[in-house]
Chains A and B, each alone.
Chain A
Amino acid sequence: MAHAESAVAAGRGVSARRSAVGQSAWTGAAARALVTLLALAALWGLWEAYRWIGVRTELTWPFPVDDVTMPHIHSVFQALFEPSRVNGPLLITVLLESAWFTAKEALLGFALGATIGFAIGIVLAHSRLLQRGFLPYIVASQTVPILAIAPMVVVWLKSGWLSVAVIAAYLTFFPVTINTLRGLLSADPRALELMRSYAASPWSVLWKLRVPAAMPYLFSALKVSATASVVGAIIGELPSSIQDGLGGAILNFAQYYSIQPTGLWATNLVAALLGIAFFAAVVVAEKLLVRRAPENVA
């Protein structure tokens, strides 16, 4: 009985806390939105102020300031909503189609990289020997520039979306491996002892204790990986002869930068938004999943 009562009391406590959290969450969100807007406005202001001073003083170092080197931010947005060419679709339509194409490659790469990274993390967490043996090479894999790896992947896998996904996965797996490993090893030693005293199998120790403990670590890695997978997909498109994605758009607008500088800025803006969307998706997933993880519920 006493046990039940305390559980009810705890339940009430939780619900009371939840509603308080609900209110402050709203004001919190509003405050965050305000700060974001202010930060954007400040950046905009800095850009335009530097531009104004640069044009007025005819700055030559580090570069002369004009419409080509620093287009007005409003003209970048304007370019997005202008036809990409005479009688053509709007630039933003073209770019969103490219972004969607790149997003599919990046998502596949992210899924591949996260799964492999997680699996490697689990294997390494169970063997000190493997950890000592392989970790240096896993670290070394990231010191080789992706620009050097990408053409090799294309030679092995032939050009196409699969090589792009593999290149994206190559950038994705590393943070996941390192953080999974750290997270799995971060399980409370007392809890481990308790599990052992119950003669729990290594499998249940892993899934009931270690993996839940690793969740916060895993998700911070996934946030890094999500944006990295977009970068990897964009970089991977060029050596893979794929020009339907953002990589192709970036290359084209870079070629014509001096005659149409806003195109490249607009493309970069869309690429950044895609990265942010990936990041936000992981944040949402974390909110949904980690709340249920034992350390938050208990």
Chain B
Amino acid sequence: MQRRKLGWGVALAVVASLAVAVWAGMGGSAGAATERGSGGGLTKVTLQLKWVTQAQFAGYYAAKAKGFYKGAGLDVNLKVGGPDITPEQVVASGQAEFGIDWLPALLAARDKGGDLVNIAQVFTRSGMTEVTHRDSGITKISQLRGKKVGVWCCGNENELFAALVKNGIDPKKRGDVTIVNQPFDMNLFLQRKVDAAAAMTYNELAQVLETKNPKTGKLYTLADLNVIRMSAAGTGMLEDGVFVGGDWISKTENQATAKQFLRASFRGWIYCRDHQRECVDIVLANGPTLPAGHQAWQMNEINALIWPAPRGIGVMNATEFARTAKIAQQFKVIRKAPSGAYRADLAQAAVKSLKTQRVNVNGARWRRIKVTLREGGK
């Protein structure tokens, strides 16, 4: 009897101490982060990213790594996104002050009653394309009639649909075109199960170029493909922008925080324009399972969506906004024309403040660098 009791006591003690150790270990690290935040007198804010760590968000990672946020009095927590995370919902519920998403998604959230406001439009060009095999001879949207066309669902199809309608093809009509719901990867295209596939310039297009072409035994090259850009088709929509809660930004002290946040984030993007390679390393340090070559390509193409920025980085172009809103309304992403969906004053103030310090906020002379892709994106 005595021995058994002892055994149980020991077992319970072991389990309890293990649990406590894990608790303390994890809680300890969280506690340390809080202390650092309050100790330095920094304002703690959270940015909810649209997706997991990748060069698409390099500017924010650079602003953190290079101390731009800290210099602006901010302690910024960069929260990664994922398949179950809607940045609009995270910001609306107060779990993050700032969020990144494509403009149409923000407009849709507003249309459903979400009190959210875009304060900076960082990407001013659309990265959305449809790619076809060169031997298919399909080089224009109008040639997609009667073809199998892959596109992502749930709000990402609108640019393509607008382009099809513009060319007299009804995406909902079976006889006009067959729309295929496309998964994350490019297998459907590589296996030629679709004639055209949706590809972002900075991601899926590179995935094709990192795969061996069975016909040549070498990696696919741009010469094997036709890339039909939605921006060239005239139906590009505005993508990554920074948004906040409408109620939150109505307070004066938060407007000051937002301006500081934008200024530091813009510095991050400017840094990534001028130090592409270093920014790729910063991204990789935050995402150790990412393929390096692929991220180098992505950094380059993301820069192309921002630079050159004639109005200064992050400042919304009213014409572009109107076009995005019009396409969104045409495809019933939103029911009524948006008003008050964005304010450009904070971004303008941030740009102005950078300009007075002779920071180049336009990047008029930025050019793509050459990135060599390897098989598997390594």
Give the B-binding residues of A (Cβ under 8 A): 64, 68, 84-86, 88-89, 94, 98, 104-105, 107-108, 111-112, 147, 150-151, 155, 158-162, 238-239, 241-243, 248-249, 251-260, 263, 285, 288-289, 292-294, 297
Contacting residue for A258 out of B53, B187, B284, B292, CB 8 A: B187
Interface residues of B in 76-107 (CB under 8 A from A): 79-85, 93, 95
18 inter-chain pairs at a CB distance below 8 angstroms, sorted by A residue, are A84-B289, A105-B26, A108-B26, A150-B84, A238-B82, A239-B84, A241-B79, A241-B82, A243-B52, A248-B52, A248-B289, A249-B289, A255-B52, A258-B187, A259-B376, A260-B377, A263-B289, A289-B7
Q: Are A292 and B19 within 8 A (Cβ)? A: no
- B265 CB-CB contact with A under 8 Å: no
Contacting residue for B186 out of A89, A158, A162, A258, CB 8 A: A258
Shortest CB–CB separation between residue B187 and chain A, in angstroms? 5
A255 cross-chain contacts in B, Cβ below 8 A: 52, 184-185
Given contacts A238-B82, A249-B289, contact A85 B25 (CB under 8 A): no
Given contacts A68-B187, A243-B80, A258-B207, contact A253 B19 (CB under 8 A): no
What is the bound-complex CA distance between A108 and B80, given in angstroms? 23
Contacts A256-B294, A259-B211 known; list 18 others, CB within 8 Å.
Answer: A84-B288, A85-B290, A85-B292, A88-B292, A105-B26, A111-B15, A111-B18, A150-B84, A241-B85, A251-B82, A251-B83, A255-B52, A256-B376, A257-B187, A258-B207, A258-B211, A259-B377, A289-B11
B8 cross-chain contacts in A, Cβ below 8 A: 289
B289 cross-chain contacts in A, Cβ below 8 A: 84, 94, 98, 248-249, 252-253, 263
- B251 CB-CB contact with A under 8 Å: no
A89 cross-chain contacts in B, Cβ below 8 A: 288
Of all chain A residues, which has the CB nearest B8? A289
Contacting residue for A254 out of B184, B293, B376, CB 8 A: B184
Interface residues of B in 191-217 (CB under 8 A from A): 191, 207, 210-211
B84 cross-chain contacts in A, Cβ below 8 A: 147, 150-151, 238-239
Given contacts A94-B288, A104-B26, contact A260 B376 (CB under 8 A): yes
What is the bound-complex CA distance between A256 and B378, given in angstroms? 11
A85 cross-chain contacts in B, Cβ below 8 A: 284, 290-292, 378
Of all chain A residues, which has the CB nearest B4? A292
- B22 CB-CB contact with A under 8 Å: yes
A64 cross-chain contacts in B, Cβ below 8 A: 191
A88 cross-chain contacts in B, Cβ below 8 A: 284, 288, 292
- B190 CB-CB contact with A under 8 Å: yes
Q: Are B207 and A107 within 8 A (Cβ)? A: no
Q: Are A256 and B377 within 8 A (Cβ)? A: yes
Q: Are B83 and A294 within 8 A (Cβ)? A: no
Q: Are B291 and A259 within 8 A (Cβ)? A: yes
A239 cross-chain contacts in B, Cβ below 8 A: 82, 84-85
